[in-house]
Structure 1
């Protein structure tokens, strides 16, 4: 790009042109997994760049959180160019952008473009998703994209074939992102608490149309994210490990597509597994290790980064109706959260771990909690993250109780 623009003496276009080109090439590398062609037309202060690949899946702008670590490519292209679009064909696509206006004689003849007509349109299979957790899915999309990108960078040098796996996994992830409804994420805490509850965050029956060629990509998505999650768990990636419910949702989603595409199969509804005691060789040391971190005379509960309870003080135990801390230590914090808020909690903590979204942190909020006997009671609480070491955090919830 630098060489081309130096010949037309339009060096001031270099920065936006390089930026937009690098974004489109990166998209083609990580999402198409095919050979890539680059064509540059430059005359005076006019420029057109075309990136061609062998994938028929069209690029889509991601509407992710402002703090997300990925998903901004097309927004960057939008801001760096005056216009951009995509021309699709039966065997691939060309994504182009323009700055300025080329002379009419050099403008592409778009009549030669090959739209995907009915004759070449790929067949699809219909997949029925029952009780689809839409809010968890939205949080998972950002988390999964982050893990895929980091895992690609981590393994690429040792295993170049991971590019093909990444392209297949990205294809499956995009199909879900484009077709599943997206719950709105309010910024106001009260609006967030009021709206993101069951049943509004669950799709009772969602129809998914999956291109036949993309069906195997869902098994690849499950496998690659399983390996990426293990790498994150071992501290090899910057992204956070996957929460159990998010992992199980992914496995269910991919299995439903594979099973229903293989032939007649009765759809299995999603059933969340919650309040599971997480196996850990640290369980015996949870209480003594963390008890010194919280004031015993105040009603406080603390969790680790897995959202497993690691400390509970006597005042909060009495308020919740538990005899001693052993009844709570090692259990997911979900045991204290009403079922209708489970999706919101899992999604919120996933967003926070992935991109730092912290709408409900460091402020007093009123929420219902579940006591030992199953009853609910409203409380005021404030959750503060506290760093233990460079890599370890705990979340300390201080309660106001009567």
Structure 2
């Protein structure tokens, strides 16, 4: 059977792109003669497009290339940054894309492109299993998110030491927060296309308010979140069950940490009341740990202020 030519489609960075890409890829894989691979291809492309919509926030191009014995699927966006795999539980939405790719694909990789990147995977055929990426490389790629985020150099940095941190619990808490942030940002994306009157109606209005509040808090405390995740990843890679984490943050991060905590508590409260934020239901599991480290960060930063 002749191999069909490649198929490509572009999608705007909106929630509907995920379902549209999933359907299109499944149909293209079936037409290429690989119906048995269609479900896996649809699952993996859904995860990668969702990550691109939420994190890159750029147009996404999906390309399906039929090969001898299988298919190659490429997802290209306008950000050079990868979502961070490896520390996420199997059900995590926001970062599980690469974990699933590494599990299901015969081969996968990332290629930088001008103004962005391509994440690709291959299904079928006799290609060797993928190699695991180095944890430091993954943390470095993730750290370039949000416009080359870095410490605020307008303030003298303060060293914050968190002692006896349970590494697995910390990473589980961070993973769950990434799930919640993904859901909230989908709420915001949907709200941007809804009629204005809808913002004042019912439970959806409460979810929208919490989504905006948490989205702002997440951005304000981005450097702290980045350092916590990176330090936790490295501690896990070193086999540490309990670790001492040393962060370097500007004094203004004290208020940002507490605003972040308040926003997370509001999300958990909305979920308990039956709101739309279903991913907030598990926040209680790590609530004590989250309150401790955020309040401890704020305490040490304020204590260092003149």
Q: Which has the larger radius of gyration?
A: 1
Q: CA RMSD in A?
A: 4.6
Task: Judge conservation of contact 2:228–2:247 (CA < 8 Å) in 1.
Answer: no
Report 1:105-124 matches (<5 A): 122=148, 124=150
1:234 matched residue in structure 2: 273
The answer on 1:138 being equivalent to 2:162 is no
Change (3 A) 1:247 1:123: closer
What's the CA shift string for 1:278-313, capped at 9, x where partnerless? xxxxxxxxxxxxxxxxxxxxxxxxxxxxxxxxxxxx
| TM-score under structure 2 length normalisation | 0.54
Aligned partner of residue 57 in structure 1, secondary structure: coil
1:176 matched residue in structure 2: 228
Q: 2: distance between equivalents of 1:88 and 1:127?
A: 35
Offset of 1:266 from its aligned partner? 7.8
What's the CA shift string for 1:221-264, capped at 9, x where partnerless? 667535423423434243145435523533665x69xx8xxxxx
Task: Judge conservation of contact 2:111–2:118 (CA < 8 Å) in 1.
Answer: yes
Highest relative contact order (Cα 8 Å, sep 6+), 1 or 2? Answer: 2
Offset of 1:93 from its aligned partner? 2.0
Q: 2: distance between equivalents of 1:141 and 1:97?
A: 26
Aligned partner of residue 134 in structure 1, secondary structure: strand
Greater helix share, structure number: 2
1:23 maps to which of 47, 59, 63:
47
Offset of 1:76 from its aligned partner? 1.5
The answer on 1:247 being equivalent to 2:271 is no
Q: 1: distance between equivalents of 2:72 and 2:260?
A: 35
Q: 2: distance between equivalents of 1:54 and 1:220?
A: 30
Report 1:2-401 matches (<5 A): 2-43=26-67, 45-65=69-89, 71-88=95-112, 91-100=115-124, 122=148, 124-125=150-151, 128-132=159-163, 134-135=165-166, 137-152=170-185, 156-159=189-192, 165=215, 173=225, 176-180=228-232, 181-182=234-235, 201-203=242-244, 206-207=246-247, 225-236=264-275, 237-238=277-278, 239-242=281-284, 243=287, 246-247=290-291, 249-250=293-294, 253=297
Stretches of structure 1 lacking an aligned partner (at least 5 in a row) = 103-115, 187-194, 211-216, 260-264, 269-402
Q: 1: distance between equivalents of 2:177 and 2:262?
A: 12
Aligned partner of residue 128 in structure 1, secondary structure: strand
Q: 1: distance between equivalents of 2:27 and 2:94?
A: 29
What's the CA shift string for 1:133-173, capped at 9, x where partnerless? 6326334213323432444455653356969949x659764
What's the CA shift string for 1:61-91, capped at 9, x where partnerless? 2334567677533222123221111123573
Task: Judge conservation of contact 1:36–1:52 (CA < 8 Å) in 2.
Answer: yes
Q: 2: distance between equivalents of 1:220 and 1:56?
A: 29
1:297 matched residue in structure 2: none
What's the CA shift string for 1:335-362, capped at 9, x where partnerless? xxxxxxxxxxxxxxxxxxxxxxxxxxxx
Q: 2: distance between equivalents of 1:85 and 1:221?
A: 34
Q: 2: distance between equivalents of 1:34 and 1:13?
A: 28
Stretches of structure 2 lacking an aligned partner (at least 5 in a row) = 1-24, 127-140, 142-146, 152-156, 194-207, 251-255
Q: 2: distance between equivalents of 1:14 and 1:220?
A: 44
Offset of 1:95 from its aligned partner? 0.9
Aligned partner of residue 108 in structure 2, secondary structure: strand
Matched residue count: 223
Task: Judge conservation of contact 2:61–2:77 (CA < 8 Å) in 1.
Answer: yes
Task: Judge conservation of contact 2:37–2:124 (CA < 8 Å) in 1.
Answer: no
Aligned partner of residue 77 in structure 1, secondary structure: helix
